[in-house]
Amino acid sequence: MKRKIRVIKWVVLPLTLVFVSCKKNNPEPETPTPNPTPTPTPTSCNVVEVSNTISSPTTWTSGNVYVITTWIDIDAPLVIEPGVIIKFKPVAGLQVYAKVTADAPANNPIIFTSYKDDNYCGDNNGDGTATTALKGDWGYINMRGDQHGSLFRYCKFLYGGGDGGGRVVKADSGTGNIHDFTFDHCTFAHTYGGTSYYTAAFDGAQMKDPSVSIVTNNIFYDNAIPILVSGYYSLDASNSYHNPDDASQINKYNGIVVYGSGMASTTVSYSETEVPYVLNVGGNNSLSSTGSELFVVGAGVTLKFSSGGGISGWSAANFNIDPSAVFTSLRDDAHGGDTNGDGSLSAPAAGDWNGFNRGSDGWYATNVFYSTH
């Protein structure tokens, strides 16, 4: 399928208005001045509309704004140069089946944003100030299976999550289901979402191996849920969960949501201390083991559980828990903050979650709060 692009050059012509003063013996009533029609903001960027599949090796070059008009399949390698701006119309996004290289320096990032976002290369939709960018203005980037080493470095993903109920990046199932990609030093902000786990700005529930699916040094703020991972994925602790320019701007449900499961006979390490790990996915809010897994919980780490959640099926050999780690209720704002996002409307109580279900072996942790056992 051929790729269709259209290049639009914005030109703003000067308009000179000449006012002539006339004196009349019987002046007529002044005619009301109509509301001005919004005028486009001048921009030096070319606008390139993309509406069909990327079926051959392609480069998106700096100095251009690429406007994605619908859902686009990327079936061939795509290189996105530093400084490129990609704007999405409503109900538009990218289905990634091939390698994408979006590698930028810190001072010239690549932007993925709303068509209404005038902050990057001006008013490309030509409506002046009539519209502004909002959460959920466009869909998301869907990483389908094996991405052959896709790289996103110093990219910003803004105002997405509107087509699919949330998320701006999703590690989806697909051929191979390997998810060979890197997201490093990227920003995920202003994503539409809610309380459901699948609305996380970065939906990484399908990721398995942190040496293959690399998520490091990223910034998450002004989202509902920042990130979702599986119970057996060791998320790197280099990511941050606040706006670096305003530390008070965080995420509504500021935690790492964990899709509970078995530990897949591997070593799993939880080491993030800025926000808690949250096990609140209905029916999947527990961690369990029946094999040779090793569960490592680092110093200062907090795990929170919703009703019915807990940890089961392990022996002492499966644990390496730092004495300062905390296991507690999702409603416990004293440890890890207001992770359920309801302010003071709820308070923790004994029996809020199941705790550790290992019979006579008991707990292998010191700081355990509000559990049944």
- Is the pLDDT reported for residue 308 higher than 70? yes
Q: What is the pLDDT of residue 373?
A: 77
Please tell me the predicted confidence (pLDDT) of residue 32.
41
**Looking at residue 38, what is its pLDDT?**
43
Average pLDDT over residues 204-212: 92
Task: Return the higher-pLDDT residue of 193 and 5.
Answer: 193
335-365 pLDDT tens trace: 999 999 999 999 999 999 998 866 556 667 8
- Looking at per-residue confidence, does 42 or 118 come out higher? 118
Residues 209, 182 contacting (CB under 8 angstroms): no
Give 217-255 pLDDT, tens digit per residue. Answer: 999 999 999 999 999 899 999 999 999 999 999 999 999
153-157, 286-290, 319-323, 354-358: which is most confident: 153-157
Q: How far apart are CA 295 and CA 234, in angstroms?
A: 10
What does the pLDDT read at residue 147? Answer: 65
Rounded to whole angstroms, the Cα distance separating 130 from 151 reads 36
Identify the band that residue 313 occupies on the pLDDT scale cut at 50, 70 and 90.
confident
Comparison of pLDDT for 339 and 261, the residue scoring more: 339
pLDDT at 194 over 90: yes
Mean pLDDT computed over 1-20: 38
- What is the per-residue pLDDT for 44? 62
